[in-house]
Amino acid sequence: MSNEARRFHVAVVGATGAVGQTMLAILAERNFPISKLTLLASERSAGQQVDFEGDKITIQDLATFDPAGVEIALFSAGGGISKEFAPKFAAAGAVVIDNSSTFRYDDDVPLVVSEVNPEAARNRPRGIIANPNCSTMQLMPVLAPIHREYGIERINIATYQSVSGAGQTGMEELGKQTAQLLGFQEIEPKKFPMQIAFNLIPHIDEFLDNGFTKEEMKLVWETRKILGDDSI
């Protein structure tokens, strides 16, 4: 029997985005055992080349890509794309790890933080594993041991989120407005509803009927699911 470690055909969906680029950097940094790396985005970026560990990999158009043979698919191209394409990749045999909020609250999709509930990833009836919102994700390793030991009833959380949470176009708007304002020029907000350079907007995502925003409620819903306790 060969001692060679198993390697995987990995696909990154949304490979040109802020999250996709970070995923690629981490796959390289961790020396993840990859036999083949497939990079996917929209037709806008198809044909572009991306460097990965010295190799040039051509971005392919997700819409026309056949997922047969992909073993692990990392999805980070927005909820609508996950909803349409993640089931197709799973049906073709891939384990899908989805970064959007599309499947997070479905009972038959595990919501996993690897340091907290890794065992949940084994039970994935739809072939999809969701990961939580970035704020929930980093809180869980800290809160889970406290909850296990003492039980948590209530958590007061304040987050200060960077514009990178709004993706590549968010970061570009911050850079552009900063340069314009320092050059005494007019700015024209596009991605954010108002000036973002030298500013802080106390609002992310839409308001819900209970007066909280969806971004705030994600913390509540996801914490309960990951810690397995609806009373928090």
Footprint on this chain of ligand NAP (rule: CB under 6 A): 14-20, 41-42, 44-45, 62, 76-79, 81, 99-100, 134, 164-165, 167-169
Question: Smallest distance, Å, CB 19 to ligand NAP?
Answer: 3
Contact call for residues 79 and 86 (beta carbons, < 8 A): no
Tell which residue, 95, 57, 61, 58, has the closest CA to residue 81: 61
Identify which of residues 19 and 70 has a Cβ nearer to ligand NAP in the complex: 19
Rounded CA separation 75/97 (Å): 6
In the complex, what is the shortest distance from the CB of residue 130 to ligand NAP, in angstroms, rounded to a whole number? 11
Query: Looking at beta carbons only, is 222 or 227 nearer to ligand NAP?
Result: 222
The residue among 172 and 181 lying less far from ligand NAP, judged by its C-beta, is 172
Compare residues 79 and 152 and give the one whose CB is closer to ligand NAP.
79
Can you tell me whether residue 195 is helix, strand or coil? coil
Q: Residue 184 half-sphere exposure, CB side, CA atoms within 13 Å?
A: 0
Q: Where do the DSSP E strands lie in 53-118?
A: 55-58, 60-61, 72-75, 95-98
Q: How far is the CB of 20 from ligand NAP (least distance, A)?
A: 5
Q: Phi and psi dihedrals of 40, rounded to 5?
A: -125, 145
Residue 58 C-beta: closest distance to ligand NAP, Å: 13
Rounded to the nearest whole angstrom, what is the least distance from the CB of residue 128 to ligand NAP in the complex?
14
Paired tokens of 191: 């991605």
Which residue's C-beta sits nearest to ligand NAP?
17
Question: Radius of gyration over alpha carbons of the chain, in Å?
Answer: 20
Q: How far is the CB of 202 from ligand NAP (least distance, A)?
A: 18
Is-contact 134 165, C-beta < 8 A? yes
Q: Which is nearer to ligand NAP, 102 or 177 (CB)?
A: 102
Sign of the CA dihedral running 39, 23, 169, 78: positive
CB of 77 to ligand NAP, least distance (A): 3
Spell out the alpha helix ranges (H) of the chain: 18-29, 79-91, 134-150, 167-182, 214-227
Pick between residue 127 and residue 165 the one whose CB is nearest to ligand NAP: 165
Measured from the CB atom, is 152 or 217 closer to ligand NAP?
A: 217
The first and second tokens of residue 174, run together, are 């911050």
